[in-house]
Structure 1
Amino acid sequence: MITLAPTVTLWDAGEFITASKVLGVPHPPGTPLFVLLGHVWAQFVVLGQYAWRTNLMSACFSAAGAGCLFLVAQRLLAGEERWLRIGGAAAAAILSAFSFTEWQNSNETEVYTVATFSIAAICWLCLRWRDLRGTERPTHVLLLIIYIAALSIGNHLLALLVGPAVSVFMAYTLRTTPALDPAERRGEWAECATLTALWLTLIAVGLGSTILLILGGALVLGAAVACWMAGSRAFPFVALAVAAIGVSIYAFLYIRSGLHPILDEADPETWNNLLAVIRREQFGSRGIFDNPVYFPGARNPGRNATILTQQFINYFQYCSWQWARSLPLVGMVAVALVFTSLGFFGVTYARRSDAGITYLLGTVWLVTGFGLVIYMNFKPGFSLFWNQYQSIGQHEVRERDYFFVVSFQVWGVFAAFGLVRLIRWASRLYAVAARRGAVALATVIALLPFVFNFRAASRRHGADATVARDVAYNLLQAVEPYGVLFSYGDNDTFPVWYLQEVEGVRQDVTLINLSLANLEWYLRQLASLPLRPFDPAHAPAIYRSLAPPVPPSRPALPLTLADIATLQPFRPAEDQVFQSGPFALPIKKGQVLRTSDQVILYTIAANLGKRAVTFGVSSGRGSWLGLDAHVVFQGLVFKVSPHADTVRQWIRGIQGTMVDTARTRYLTDSVFQFGKLFSVDTIELDPASQQVATSFSVPFLELGNAAAIRGDSATALAYLRRGYHLNPSPQLAEIIRTLFRR
């Protein structure tokens, strides 16, 4: 709780919190289990803000997962003295919980701690199955494993990757300690085959793969025949029923989408749409043999040894982050080498102590580490290989270490076993004093991740603690009552959804995400979006006089469902002019007009002069359709104005557009929130938070430029210094020098 994020964070957290609050449908595959868990949890945990409560849920699942790994480690250390068994298991729990990626995930509302808990719980249940063999209860444990696995599909497919480990563990156990009764022996092997076949079927359901589903179904049928012949006739049918009950969590998406919640991504209210959500069709597909830095298709050169090597380098980079992320590179790598060595020592120790558990954990590590590197086929990471891949589109939009979090946790468990081996070695060879020293050293090593990951993993103490909420708040407050705000990416959309739907701030503003505006289901929802009243209590005082006496009566997007169904990208055969009152926008022959471009034009035509139409500062000029001469910057948005260059009190800013300096000054000085950004060096921020800080620098730079034009050097310098603090780039330093040369 000390490092827990106090509010919403960047990326998917805002969407998940919103979905939990309104029982909505987040992006494919919809994560219905996580949405329901978040909603129920927040109803019972009434302390703190809603976002803090769901963040706490992630932390509790992470702690529960560490507890399960404690039990697994304690079982492997059963032959040791009690103090060493408890201490080694505690070290395993600490190293798994405080590895960088797991700790960071546990501080925000994300699906990954629920997934890691599911895997850890299934690993512990495997040991319970082994203990209960020869009684009437092991079958019950297998059914519970199947249910947890099936239910976990509704959270994240990561949890299903424990399947091969369960099959390996069962097969090894049945082979090395076979039942004495031949009939019982055949029944156990048939149950193992059934579980393996069901796991493949569950993966097929999770991936939406028809081929895998047919193969899995055939294997389930074969396993059922084997169970029938072995005398375990009921097991395959009960197991299939239990799996179906778990998978039925996806009915939540179908039911809730039919009730049209405010957040209803991909609109899975029909079976075809639901299947598309499960298959993630919205995001396209990239084959395992494609080169990820190029578009998939016939011209894709294919995956080669170079890109595969780079992907493994990326994985090992993420491994090096886990144990001392806050240290400089040399120190971080040195600590990583220590834990790598301890892990190898731990594997050899574990193999001699309990080979079954070693194979269980080792298979989990292999599948969730190397296996995922091969299967996911990621582009180069955000922090590597820029000299070779210079386009931002050739890199992942963010670091993908969270996909491999389970492998990092398992290696932490092996490292704890390595510490136990170190203590045993010292105890056998040296005196009591040396043994005590070894225990002290092992304790210090086990606590290294807690000490050296604290600052990097914390979501509470850094400058980015409130940056997601701040960017949402500032964007919304820059828009006039009942205005339209165009956004583009996750980080200027999901936090806004959170602020509007969870905290109820500026619900009168219509947010249109231009990435989603190319999708028919999203446009249908925009066209029927309910209008909500302007609440002066949640808005700047200046807007109270600007609110129209009669609110708008129609949605911002003026299209019927029939219009939306026919909306397609097109190229004009000849030059055209888009006309809306005094506003004229030339469209050149052959210029591609995407669906989202047409949405912009229709929205402007319907609302210009009636309500503000704005672009968020991070939406990019590429979405303006040549509107540069018709926008004015105010606060953090560019407002469309047909006569922007004729208003005398506005000036031309450093971005080339007109600037409403009075409105920008009022918003920046009196309304906007910047959290702790001005109290620390923003260079230490992660890339996403740095981008937000860069956006926040724009109004300060524009105000500094305006003051410099007026000859007010002191005011100009004050604003420019604040802007440079948020965006300390060489390009910005040159702009500031240029301003003072004039």
Structure 2
Amino acid sequence: MATTSAVYGVSHPPGYPLFTLLGIIFVRLPIEATVAWKFSLVSLISAIIALFFFYKLLLRLGISKLLSMITLSILAFTYAFWLYAEVVEVFSLYYLFFILLFYLGFSFYQTKQDKYLYLLSFFIGLSLSHQQAILILFPALFLMVFFANKKVLINPGIILKCIGFVVIGLLPYFYLPISYMLNPPITWLTELTPSALIQHVLRLNYGWVTSATTPLSERVFAVITYFTYWLFHLPLILILTSLIGAAALFVKKRKLFVLISLAFFISGPLFVFYAATSAARAFTFGVLERFYVSSYIMFLLFFPFGVLEIVRLCMKAVEVLLKKKVKSSLLLHLPHALTLLFIIIPVSLFFTNSHRIDMSEMRIGEYYALDILNPLPKKSIVFADVDTTVFPTHYVQYVLGVRRDILMPSFSQLQQIILRDKRYSKVYKEILKNERYARDSDYVIDTALSLRASRPVFSPAKVKNTEYSGSFVWMPYGLVYKAVTKNEIPVKEEYIRSQELFWERSFIDRIREYRDAPNLPLVFQEI
């Protein structure tokens, strides 16, 4: 994302135009800092604003300022929320929209003022120009509007105004075609056609969600992993208090319970069941973990009601013990004192997580990219379909200015290069005539391999040999593989010496320093 904003490019599907535009502004701030650090301010500011509206939401729910601050602090110091407030990722802004939309929806539900409905409509459009996963909140928002005033759902005038505000919120998507026409060095948009734009925005060719054929057992396991994750990361007293709050709302404020529970269920267990992404590897678990937070935000709304119920029961017990109603000035302050005891939760979360999210000295991504690029011959082409390879390498190339002679596109970017270059497109069209290709990436790779004579070709992983691209083998070459013919394979002694030189000059010793870092799994999945 930082690299894309630095070169006015288009990010991977769905494009994240709003986030990219914010990045374009922040990476050009006139301050002494790295591009990545400047861009991380977007995440930090988003998290701060998210906490502000979370506080406003708690007050609107009738929670006291003291208890609202305690609840807000719990969210702020929860590992995943705190983490994404620091890194260059889209999810801090996503959490902001999740909280803001719920706040605006509940404000309309509570006040029935049209201004909240129009603000909600605008920010729905704006949130969709950032991350379409926000759709999981829509059922709860619809219920809020229905409970508040179902007549607005059949009022043509109000509906047209709302649609207009949604469309205004979607305007950042115009950045995608504008960026494409600027011909930036990094863009994931393959063509400037309606079909290509729709595929990109709807991420039809890019995703991590499993298929519909995923076994039920794997989906159930994904849900079990979701609940296990929170049992591991949250204090038991927080979970129990929130469950007590949910029970209290079910009895006393049934509609509010339904609204919060619906948002929690769809964004949490149901979403995880649908996605069913494996948590067996650090990468896939890291991808899934970031989506857990939205449901946690909803679950945390039960917490203050649980505290109020516990305080009420404690005061009732005191009255029973004293056999009279509490009138002493000292005892009148007891509810505040009992509430204040719960501050132990955010304090414990702070001390538990503060060392885990410190990545100020973490440079694994940079070292990894340098170890890939430095040994390669001039004007090499390295094609990769793995974000963890492409992203840090592009950052080192286009932000730090290292080895920009090397072309490392993703499959979609390689396809775009091929379509624009007449030399490549001629071969590409010939390959397209062969109907044996099952995937777009197959004929894109073949096009690159067929032109191997003009540029050395490398890949982070072995690619299946095909008849069209010729007979070659993938020879280990540092951290990547080189496509060579059997006649090009060097003699054993020469090859071993070249690899020894690579490892002597690599950053492997520095990477070993991070072996016991508590945030290492996330770092590996982020780079």
Same fold? TM cut 0.5: yes
1:445 corresponding residue in structure 2: 345
Does the 8 Å CA contact 1:42/1:54 hold for their aligned counterparts?
yes
What SS is found at the alignment partner of 1:493? Answer: helix
User: Per-residue displacement from partner, 1:467-512 (whole Å, max 9, x unpaired)?
Assistant: 1122112212222333333434211111111222222222111214
Distance 1:309 1:127 in 2: 32
Distance 1:486 1:286 in 2: 23
Distance 1:383 1:417 in 2: 37
Distance 1:238 1:488 in 2: 43
Change (3 A) 1:441 1:571: same
Distance 2:188 2:67 in 1: 45
| From 240, 260, 265, the counterpart of 2:183 | 260
2:305 corresponding residue in structure 1: 417
Change (3 A) 1:103 1:397: closer
Distance 1:70 1:560 in 2: 56
1:182 corresponding residue in structure 2: none
CA apart distance, 1:310:
1.9
Distance 1:691 1:623 in 2: 30
Change (3 A) 1:39 1:164: same
The question of 1:496 aligning with 2:393 is answered yes
1:663 corresponding residue in structure 2: 501
Distance 2:364 2:102 in 1: 37
Structure 2 residue runs of 5 or longer lacking an equivalent are: 319-329
User: Per-residue displacement from partner, 1:32-51 (whole Å, max 9, x unpaired)?
Assistant: 11111221233347352111
User: Per-residue displacement from partner, 1:104-125 (whole Å, max 9, x unpaired)?
Assistant: 2222122222121112112222
The question of 1:525 aligning with 2:417 is answered yes
Amino acid of the structure 2 residue aligned with 1:445:
I
Q: How many residues in Structure 1 have an aligned counterpart in Structure 2?
A: 507
CA apart distance, 1:682:
6.6
The question of 1:111 aligning with 2:90 is answered yes
1:471 corresponding residue in structure 2: 368
2:479 corresponding residue in structure 1: 636
Does the 8 Å CA contact 2:475/2:483 hold for their aligned counterparts?
yes
What is the 5 A alignment of 1:229-308?
Answer: 234-283=157-206, 290-292=212-214, 303-304=215-216, 306-308=217-219
Does the 8 Å CA contact 1:311/1:379 hold for their aligned counterparts?
yes
1:650 corresponding residue in structure 2: 494
Change (3 A) 1:383 1:485: closer
Does the 8 Å CA contact 1:423/1:435 hold for their aligned counterparts?
yes
Amino acid of the structure 2 residue aligned with 1:312:
V
CA apart distance, 1:366:
2.0
| From 587, 596, 601, the counterpart of 2:449 | 601
Amino acid of the structure 2 residue aligned with 1:64:
I
What is the 5 A alignment of 1:68-467?
Answer: 68-78=53-63, 85-130=64-109, 132-133=111-112, 138-172=113-147, 174=148, 188-191=149-152, 193=153, 223=154, 227=155, 234-283=157-206, 290-292=212-214, 303-304=215-216, 306-323=217-234, 335=235, 337-350=236-249, 357-374=256-273, 376-382=274-280, 396=284, 398-430=286-318, 438-439=338-339, 441-460=341-360, 465-467=362-364
Distance 2:246 2:25 in 1: 40
CA apart distance, 1:127:
4.1
CA apart distance, 1:143:
0.9
Higher helix share: 2
User: Per-residue displacement from partner, 1:252-284 (whole Å, max 9, x unpaired)?
Assistant: 212222332222213251112111212322138
Change (3 A) 1:355 1:245: same
Change (3 A) 1:488 1:524: closer
CA apart distance, 1:76:
2.2
Structure 1 residue runs of 5 or longer lacking an equivalent are: 1-15, 79-84, 175-187, 194-222, 229-233, 293-302, 324-334, 385-394, 530-557, 573-592, 652-657, 693-742
Distance 2:489 2:135 in 1: 58
Change (3 A) 1:147 1:675: farther
What SS is found at the alignment partner of 1:403? Answer: helix
User: Per-residue displacement from partner, 1:346-401 (whole Å, max 9, x unpaired)?
Assistant: 22344567555444333221221133134x332432259xxxxxxxxxx9575512
CA apart distance, 1:522:
2.9
What SS is found at the alignment partner of 1:455? Answer: coil
2:325 corresponding residue in structure 1: none
Amino acid of the structure 2 residue aligned with 1:124:
Y
Change (3 A) 1:141 1:441: closer
Does the 8 Å CA contact 1:361/1:410 hold for their aligned counterparts?
yes
Distance 2:210 2:401 in 1: 42
Does the 8 Å CA contact 1:103/1:457 hold for their aligned counterparts?
yes
2:327 corresponding residue in structure 1: none
User: Per-residue displacement from partner, 1:672-722 (whole Å, max 9, x unpaired)?
Assistant: 476563254379731772999xxxxxxxxxxxxxxxxxxxxxxxxxxxxxx
Does the 8 Å CA contact 1:65/1:121 hold for their aligned counterparts?
yes
Does the 8 Å CA contact 2:180/2:189 hold for their aligned counterparts?
no
RMSD of Structure 2 on Structure 1 (CA): 3.6
Distance 2:137 2:491 in 1: 64
Change (3 A) 1:351 1:42: farther
Amino acid of the structure 2 residue aligned with 1:142:
L
Does the 8 Å CA contact 1:30/1:278 hold for their aligned counterparts?
yes
Amino acid of the structure 1 residue aligned with 2:521:
D
What SS is found at the alignment partner of 2:382? Answer: strand
The question of 1:685 aligning with 2:523 is answered no
Distance 2:114 2:334 in 1: 48
2:323 corresponding residue in structure 1: none
Amino acid of the structure 2 residue aligned with 1:449:
L
Does the 8 Å CA contact 2:382/2:457 hold for their aligned counterparts?
yes
Change (3 A) 1:48 1:424: farther
CA apart distance, 1:68:
0.9
Distance 2:279 2:223 in 1: 11
1:23 corresponding residue in structure 2: 8
Does the 8 Å CA contact 2:104/2:120 hold for their aligned counterparts?
yes
Does the 8 Å CA contact 1:254/1:270 hold for their aligned counterparts?
no
TM-score by length of 2: 0.84
What is the 5 A alignment of 1:543-554?
Answer: none
1:508 corresponding residue in structure 2: 405
CA apart distance, 1:318:
3.0
Distance 1:53 1:319 in 2: 31
Amino acid of the structure 1 residue aligned with 2:300:
G
Does the 8 Å CA contact 1:569/1:594 hold for their aligned counterparts?
no
